[in-house]
Structure 1
Amino acid sequence: MFGSATKFGLALVLAAGTAMTVAQAETRVTYKSAKAGSSYYQMGVEIAEALKKGTNGEIIATIEESQGSVQNVMEVRARGGDYVFTTPPALAEAARNGKGAFEGKGDPKFAEIRALFPIPSLTMHFVMAKSSGVEDFADMEGKTVLLGKGTFGATEGEKYLTLFGLEGKVKLADAELSNAVAALKNGQIDGFVTSGSWPAPNVVEAAASLPVNILSLTPDQVAETKRASINIPAGTYAGQESDILTTSLPVVAYTTTAMDEETAYQLTKTFWEQKAAMSDSAPWWKGVDKALMVNITGKLHPGAVRYYKEAGFELTEGQM
């Protein structure tokens, strides 16, 4: 009896020890990005799968739904070292400086925000039916264009029409962006404006449904928008024979200095090492490369810096 009890107790101790070893080996992080069902939420799911695969289960990411980038930054105030979130670099900078959406809501923790790696940018697409004859912005005069409502693309598209002398000269369709491809096919509109990581699903659908021209901006026009420039390679969309120069809103994955260096290092290293595999299953990851690093305007986490130096990335003084 006594011997059996001793063996049973020893087994419990060994089992508990094994469980503690597993628990110690596993690092859990929370990844907060966007609304469920959005492309950026799906990217979060893909990153979580890549982290689990690339670290043999040593890093497990839990995906949290978000109501937007401002909320993601605001939550830095109450989160710990396991928090990873996405936001445009401009918003992270605004939080640090207590400006814009963060005016009067400053917090010392905003100064602790540190970047890890870039993710696909919100990329502007100006999609016109080839039958409309529109090949540049000047040709849009008198045409009917769908901008949509309440999105970054709608706001940005309206700004560009004003910048390029088309305010009041383009008929704006009163419809939701979700109806854009059907309206374009039916001839109800001449084109639509959308933003999203490329290749954008609605642009893929439009280009596969009818001949389209996706407008390219000139370098001067890009400079006028004060946005980051981005190049969409030829062949991204059906019938696209040339590269498209357009603008984008960079998006970056961040954490804070509360995260330990080793975890930040492993997160960054695994992301870049798994990016090729992610690109095979989700083409929007093809738009992420070393060139996007220039869009990170604030400091990188020391763990991320360690990886980038090992991998031969060129960093700016402001990023280190």
Structure 2
Amino acid sequence: MVALSACAAPEDVEGPGGEDSEATFLQLATGSTGGTYYPLGGEIAQLWSDNIEDVEVSTFATGASVQNLRSLEGETEDDEGTQADQSQLIMAVNGVAMQARESAGPFADQPLGSPDDIRALGNIYPEVMQVVVGADSDIESIADLEGMNVEIGPPGSGTEVAARQILEAYGLDPESDINAYDSTFGDAATALGDGTVDAAFGILSVPAAGIVQVSASNEVRLLPIDGAESESLIADDPSYSPLTIDGGTYNGQDEDVVTLTQWATLYTTSALDEQLAYDLVRVMYEEAGEIGHDVGGQVQLDTAIDGLGDIELHPGAERFYQEQGLLD
């Protein structure tokens, strides 16, 4: 699924059809191999490579949102610790991108060099916070996680950023009130299944393959994120909105559960060619039906620009949305 190609920044080669090069090579920074970003990003990259003349897109695995936003400005490490070239396209949680734009949260001490240069291309799918415990656990609320072993996501991931916000909203200090672990969700699900940890946070698609897998042999429940704590989080961070996960989504989860969602969004910088940006966005939505991943059906034009906040659309994407009637 992953497009395998040589990697070069678009400014290093002539554009599609140019005299000096037969192709433009782009890199898409995704996420950990156990999450949704990596396999989904591979399929989207292949769509682009197959449907845009003289464009080749490759992907690489990363720690996800925070790391990906940094990769727009220079070299970064992939999830194996190997130096990877600068990426021209990234997948990131919209709330984390807003923090990067504002030099807040994980970017407060080490802000991006040019946070105003981030450009949105469009939403990919809803990023739903799912806090998983065993079905027979005594844990009924986020507040009950005090003193527990809790997977909060890899450092720099959107999951980790949101998990810390949520724990603090429930009066828990992530540094001292829980025993925090930072595995990818695939490993976190395994640890939950074998009882090594008591709960696992994950910003994931619904249904999430990792949760489906662990619930096949160990019934699970999802903890609600609602009430005053949810209202406070939404007031502080407009990238959040409430979402209900239907009962029966996972083995052991019999009741509907209210939680929070953000968006997995495609970002770039102002340096990306306008026509290329237009074509990337057009193909992602027009060919979404070819995506085999479970969340392929959630890549929808009518939600493409929801929750972008004050991050500007790339002019090429903006032109496409105007043609589609989403913008005036």
Question: Is TM > 0.5 for Structure 1 vs Structure 2?
Answer: yes
Q: Bigger shift: 224-233 or 65-74?
A: 65-74
Match of 2:24 among 19, 25, 28: 28
Alpha-carbon distance change, 163 to 247 in structure 1, aligned in 2, over 3 angstroms = same
Match of 2:203 among 166, 171, 195: 195
Q: Deviation per CA, 1:157-209, whole angstroms, max 9, x where unpaired?
A: 455344325679x9956767566545545556554333334433321122222
| TM-score relative to the length of structure 1 | 0.69
- Deviation of 1:46 after TM superposition, in Å, equals 1.1
2:150 corresponds to which residue?
A: 146
Aligned amino acid, residue 43 of structure 2: E
Aligned-partner Cα distance in 2 for 1:141–1:92: 28
Quick one: structure 1 residues 308 and 215, their matched pair in 2 at CA, closer, same or farther if it must change by over 3 Å?
same
Residue in 2 aligned with 1:49?
46
2:90–2:268: 8 Å Cα contact kept in structure 1?
Answer: yes
Structure 2 residue ranges without an equivalent (≥5): 1-14, 76-86
Which residue number in structure 2 is paired with residue 310 of structure 1? 323
8 Å CA contact 2:90, 2:267 repeated in 1: yes
Q: Which residue of 1 aligns with 2:89?
A: 84
Q: Deviations over 1:119-152 (max 9, x none)?
A: 34543212122223555446x3788553356545
> 1:61 maps to what in 2?
57
Question: For structure 1, which runs of at least 5 residues remain unmatched after alignment?
Answer: 1-19
Verify the 8 A CA contact 2:72 2:89 in the aligned structure 1. no
Cα distance, 1:264–1:243 mapped onto 2, change above 3 Å: farther
Which residue of 1 is the match for residue 312 of structure 2? 299
- Name the CA shift for 1:255/1:216 in 2 (closer, same or farther; >3 Å): same
Distance change (3 Å), C-alpha of 1:130 and 1:54: same
Matched with 1:285 is 296
Does the aligned pair in 1 maintain the 2:16–2:23 contact within 8 Å?
no
| 269-278 or 252-261, which deviates more | 252-261
Aligned position for 1:254: 267
CA contact (8 A) 2:135 2:252 kept: no
CA distance in 2, matches of 1:136, 1:21: 53
- 2 CA distance for matches of 1:21 and 1:270? 15
Instruction: For 1:89 and 1:264, locate their aligned partners in 2 and report how far apart those are by CA, in whole Å.
Output: 18
Classify the secondary structure of the residue corresponding to 1:209. coil
Q: Is the 8 A contact 1:114 1:256 kept in 2?
A: yes
Distance 1:189 1:35 in 2: 22
The residue that corresponds to 2:241 in the other structure is 229
Question: Could you tell me how far apart the structure 2 residues matched to 1:180 and 1:308 are?
Answer: 38
- Bigger CA radius of gyration: 1
Residue 296 of structure 2 aligns with an amino acid whose one-letter code is W
Contact 1:184 1:191 in 2 (8 A): yes
CA RMSD of superposed structures (Å) = 4.1
Instruction: Decide which structure has greater helix share.
Output: 1
- Give 1:300 shift: 0.8
Tell me the TM-score normalised to structure 2 length: 0.68
Contact 1:231–1:243 under 8 Å retained in 2: no
Cα distance, 1:288–1:135 mapped onto 2, change above 3 Å: farther
Identity of aligned pairs, percent?
24
> Aligned in 2, Cα 1:267/1:219: closer, same or farther, shift over 3 Å?
farther
